[in-house]
A and B are shown apart, each in its own frame.
Chain A
Amino acid sequence: MLGRASAFFAFVATLMTFGLLAQANAQETVKIGAIYPLSGNAASAGTFSKAAIELAVDIVNNAHPELKDIPLAEGQGLPGLKGAKISVVFADNQGTPAAGQNQALRLITEEKVHALIGAYQSGITVTTSAMAERHGIPFITPESVASNLTERGFKWFFRTTPVAGDFARAYSTFIKEQKAAGQKADTIAVVNENTEYGNSVASVIREVFAKDGLNITQVIPYSANTTDVQPQVLQMKEKNPDVVIFISYTSDAILYAKTMKDLNWKPSIMIADNAGFNDPSFVSTSGALVDGLINRSSFAVGKPGSVSAIINEMYKKKTGHDLDDPSARAMQGFLTMVEAINRAGSTEPAKIQAALKATDLKAHQVVTGYNGVKFDEKGQNVLASSLITQLRNSVYVPVWPKDKAAGDVKLPYKGW
């Protein structure tokens, strides 16, 4: 009898041990869901961001002593979770808010991810992060800039990128400086795609410029998924503004570049608000048509041997392209999430959330040119910053502010 009982206990004990082992095994990978446009009109940009996140996974999971300033790069995996590895489940938002939302739900309920990042287009970040909020899963957007994203009172939402207000102020100061230097900048046109991203950035620019006494004379909202932009360019040709600010995705950016050349019109200062104009496939197809374009960026490749240069080389080896700004920001958002999970020492959502709130990365610990990462109570990174770049021979060169510049601003805009 006793023999049987002890055999039974032994059996139970074995089961329990296996159970515990299984649990320990389960903790060995941290699952992060990444929602990006992998099909649809922004697929090109989304695919470049995906490559940057995959590179970040490699940097965390494998030993990279050459990147020792970047948290978790030097060793293998997450020391805070006994060396656990990171795995990423990518999901395609197909360029629509509804598909993004469905994918977020799937990642949370079926893939059981511990955290989410995404979703490139601001309009899709709205719906995907709402899903994360409802299920209490930490969400970082590394690149969506629409101002209202951090105004919703969400508790699980964090944003590492600078926001529209930051760029609007940078553009305003930049234009005023150019004006003082003798450039013509009396009339300004804003041309924006009409979803969350374009509309919100345009309205913030209008607000900030009005306060700063800059004269916006023309606002042209349009649909990014358009077959023809000739009428827009002709509207500008007629009013002939000195400065044009484009807030566009990739396909429309390509059409503007071509059409402005076809119709032979250019302003004396042309500014692009990142996004489509930073997509490597825009630069390779249309870079030669928009030489001298002013843009914003949070990433610039530094001197050889610097963190940004090493990472750029790794990215180039992987994709054949230089690391572009939105993809670098995607990588930074991802690394911020992983660093917090490591500090949390757990995959429990509440602990990750607390760790994110306590994030305090210094300038030398980040890949992008931010002054660091530290979130305010709304989840916005207060140390995010951006600089102004100019396209020269299809390469974006930092030109402003002066202390971060690698060359002088050359105006008027050259074009083709």
Chain B
Amino acid sequence: MSSILLQVIVSGLLIGAVYALFASGLTLIWGMMNVINFAHGDFVMLAMYTAFVVWTAFGGGPLMSIPIAAIVLATVGILSYFLLVRHVMRGPMIAQILGTFGLALLLRYSAFWYFGSNFKTLPDNILGPPFVIGDIRIDAPRLLAGTLGLVVTILLHLLLTRTALGSRMLAVSEDATAAQLMGIRPERMQAIAWGLSAASTGIAGALIATFFYTSPTVGETLAIIAFVTVAFGGFGSVPGALVAGLVIGVLEALSAYWIGPVYKDVIVYTLFVLVLWTRPQGLMGKA
């Protein structure tokens, strides 16, 4: 295998792990509440600006911005739940879609108003020089993002499947009334789900900010990938999002390299349609 091809695959895996991380927040909300959060991309955008503010105001790198972005976004997530989602959930499906879409626009245009339309980037050497293994170069921010992406996605999965809190959350998603009879408060669990989802999105955003540009509309660019990853991996499945993220990352990289960057979406979406055709619930979703 040529070293360039190997580099393409490594790059694809690293970006795929990040896709997985920011898609897992979206899939978590769906799995818990059957609500699609259209503001998800703009949550990522908010986290990216948080990382940027942490850098400009305190000179803090990712070590500082990741926890701060997680806390800020968890707060935004919980607030969104209590102030908006809880109410629109009582309405028809269309109200949920338009409600979170409205939230997306509110966040996006608030960013335009507050930060302006200029592109921002964090300093290029914020994490030091790239790792060089033979002919393969791995940029430090991407390596950190890819690794942490994997770790956080797996932790999120373990939290849902191996802890009492996870079981309570799953119980609410299975049957809120039955869970309530067992002494679980559905609203509290759902608020925690929004907080967790937004916090993991916060981590993803702070990581992406280290190697991507930040602008008020960056959420739009990233959200499409998140939705595709979630649908591909199976709605509500965190391991599904992980596998789908990695597959999409590598597939995009390979098809862009072999056939050409304008065709990569054709390849990815063809596979996407094929998977949904044979498994409409996605790779790992429940039928």
Contact = CB atoms under 8 A, between A and B. Distances in A.
Interface of A: 38-41, 43-44, 46-47, 194, 220-223, 225-232, 234-235, 237-238, 250-251, 254-255, 258, 261-264, 279-282, 284-286, 288-289, 416
Given A38-B117, A39-B117, A264-B137, A221 B262 contact: yes
Contacts of B222: 227
A39 B137 contact: no
A359 B135 CA distance: 59
Contact of A262 (B120, B121, B130, B257): B130
Chain B interface residue bracket vs A = 35 or more
Contacts of B215: 41, 43-44, 251
A43 B137 contact: no
B144 interface: no
Nearest to B141: A262
Nearest to B119: A281
B253 interface: yes
Given A221-B261, A258-B124, A231 B4 contact: no
Give the interface SS of chain B, mostly helix, strand, loop or mixed.
helix
Contact of B264 (A231, A261, A279): A231
Which 10 residue pairs of A and B lie closest in terms of their CB atoms, listed nearest first? A231-B256, A222-B261, A43-B117, A281-B118, A262-B139, A231-B257, A285-B121, A281-B119, A230-B11, A254-B213
B217 A226 contact: no
30 contacts: A38-B117, A39-B216, A40-B217, A44-B118, A46-B117, A47-B117, A222-B260, A222-B261, A223-B262, A223-B265, A225-B221, A227-B225, A228-B15, A228-B252, A230-B8, A230-B253, A234-B8, A234-B257, A238-B4, A262-B130, A262-B137, A262-B211, A279-B119, A280-B118, A281-B118, A281-B119, A285-B119, A285-B213, A286-B121, A288-B124
Contact of A43 (B112, B130, B139, B254): B112
Interface of B: 2, 4, 7-8, 11-12, 15, 108-109, 112, 116-121, 124, 130, 137, 139, 142, 211-213, 215-218, 221-222, 225, 252-254, 256-257, 260-262, 264-265
B261 A254 contact: no
Contacts of A280: 118
Contacts of B7: 234, 263
Given A258-B124, A258-B211, A286-B121, A235 B257 contact: yes
Contacts of B252: 228, 231
Given A221-B262, A223-B262, A231 B118 contact: no
B260 A234 contact: no
B217 A220 contact: no
Given A234-B11, A286-B121, 9 more contacts: A38-B117, A39-B108, A43-B215, A43-B217, A222-B256, A228-B252, A231-B8, A231-B257, A254-B119
A231 B216 contact: no
A193 to B, nearest CB: 10
B251 to A, nearest CB: 11
Contacts of A228: 11, 15, 252-253, 256
B119 A234 contact: no
Contacts of B15: 227-228, 230
A98 to B, nearest CB: 16
Contacts of B213: 251, 254-255, 285
B55 to A, nearest CB: 13
